[in-house]
Amino acid sequence: MPDQSRTPVLVGVGQLRANRERTVDCAREPLELMARALRLAEEDAGAPGLLAGADAVYGIRTASWAYDDLAGSVAARIGATPRTCVNTALGGQLPARLLDRAAAAIWAGESEVAVVVGGEAQASANALAKAGIDPVDRGWSSSPGGPPPLDLGDLGSEQMLAAGLFLPPRMYPLFENRLQADLGLPPEENAAWSARIYADLSRVAAQNPFAWAPEELTAEQVGAVGPGNRMVCEPYPLSMNAMPNVDQAVAVVVTSLATARAHGIPADRFTYVWGGAGVDDPPDPLRRTGFGGSIALGRALDRSLELAGVPIGEVDLVDVYSCFPIVPKLAALHLGLDREAVLSVAGGHSSFGGPLNTYSLHAIATLVHRLRAGASTGLVHANGGYLSYQHTVLLGARPHPDGYVGEPEPAAVAHPDAPTVLDAATAAADGVDLTVETVTVEHGRSGAPQQAFVVGRTPTGDRIAVQSAPDDSATAAALSLVSLPPGAITHVGRTVRLSLRGGRPAVTVPPGDLA
């Protein structure tokens, strides 16, 4: 019989939005924002001294400032001497995964009080940089300080980097455009679907006091491309891209049920961590079977619900990661939900804000308040990489009958049917025709198509990723959704030519197909 006194409970949550005006005087470093969020979480629990007893601190890597030991710095700020200090790499899946791990450790008797914390201050960092001020001169940490170093190897494989596919705004549209083709949707209908999703998210964010852009938008405002909402990479205008230039921080405190009671925390503060599940695809999408879905996302959702013994129809609230529309679309399709379903409690990455790795911790904190207000169950889905790393957690207003039922360590997805990935430069030396598997076109700030990014198949079925030449706007225009051949709804299946141009591999379209 499980020891129910070890049931993991979220007892305190704290989140904040700061320096929305982007002023120098109000600029604060991420660590300070995180310390404030933790104090708010302690106040929310109503248990002075709770943080000082933390035996585990999980610090989610911040992308706006560099720290040698973020978790250790956080512990020092709250006066804790934890046995466990965890500093993470990058990854949007981390809030859900870390909460699941903290809950599992509590359930196993390895921990009593754990905190998960993260934050960003990119808006302040940008304001200081614009004013020519070194943040260290304003008291920001200097060990090491500065923008975190970025290893290109962390952004993708050699083939991805060579093809220019190391930026999320270029990669995620490749999934979107393949899904649109697979579903047989006209581009206008697919774009309207995306616009409605993000309009709904804006309505949720408008009611969230911690949202960066709490303005309710119509679907027409979201979808209309123009000077204030330029096209980035088709089919996503700026309004459908995550907003990372924010100052936001969030912290949650999870304890055992026995510890919560020993601290005198009122039962109406308790939110029970039922558990979750994680599933990871290969980090390089070129090594997966296809671009029309995410095996890991579907399996993570299914497994968390299966472990809890709860069908999705009995889950009151859902927050799905929404860095780009493709993610909530795939989740809704997999769960069999209506297109009109609003899959957010926080407000999404575009309206609430996209503080890099910590958005889903804000969703968890917001969900806690909703459960305290009367909801019964809630699910938070978190996504990292290029639809690579998935984790979901289920929370309840009441304990699960079996206590904690999660599987915090991720399972790995094998893709035995994935095609061989060829080097574009080698294949281009002799020239080869490619069948477009998926494609996106990046637009310049003027609004015109600027460069195409193509994943194609050779006549033997091998996969090649390649871009058009930077100065070849004609190819970019020809592969734009506004230049579809008569009667076509997609460029998927179209033939393009891979060859060397200026000594570098590049894709072009037949001369007769140029716009």
End-to-end Cα separation, the chain, in angstroms: 70
Which pLDDT score, from 0 to 100, does residue 511 have? Answer: 77
**Percentage of the chain lying above the pLDDT 90 cut:** 95
Of 371, 391, 412, which marks where a domain is finished? Answer: 412
Residue-wise pLDDT tens digits, 447-465: 999 999 999 999 999 999 9
pLDDT at 151 over 90: no
Q: Is the residue at 190 inside a domain?
A: no
- Mean pLDDT on 306-334: 98
SS3 of 90, please? Answer: coil
Q: What is the mean pLDDT of residues 304-330?
A: 98
> Beta-carbon neighbour count of residue 407 at 10 Å?
17
Q: Are residues 266 and 292 in the same domain?
A: yes
Q: Which residue has the higher pLDDT, 366 or 153?
A: 366
Least confident of 16-20, 112-116, 148-152, 291-295: 148-152
> How far, in Å, CA of 190 to CA of 413, rounded?
28
Looking at residue 18, what is its pLDDT?
A: 98
Is 338 in the same domain as 370?
yes
Residue 391 lies in a domain: yes
* pLDDT number for residue 149: 84
Q: Does 110 lie in the same domain as 66?
A: yes
Q: Is residue 430 part of a domain?
A: yes
Q: What share of the chain is helix, strand, coil (3-state, %, to 5)?
A: 35, 25, 40
What is the reported pLDDT for 91? 95
Region 474-494: mean pLDDT is 96
The Cα 467–Cα 57 span in angstroms is 43
Q: Are 451 and 187 in contact (CB under 8 A)?
A: no
Rounded Cα–Cα distance for residues 88 and 361 (Å): 14
Q: What is the pLDDT of residues 27-36, one digit of tens each?
A: 999 999 999 9
Mean pLDDT on 34-47: 98
Residue 515 in this model has a pLDDT that exceeds 60: no
- Is 250's pLDDT higher than 90? yes
pLDDT number for residue 383:
98
Please check whether residues 116 and 264 belong to one and the same domain: yes
Res. 388: pLDDT tops 60:
yes
Q: Is the pLDDT of residue 513 over 80?
A: no
Instruction: Return the CATH number at 472.
Output: 2.40.50.840
Residue 440: domain span: 424-513
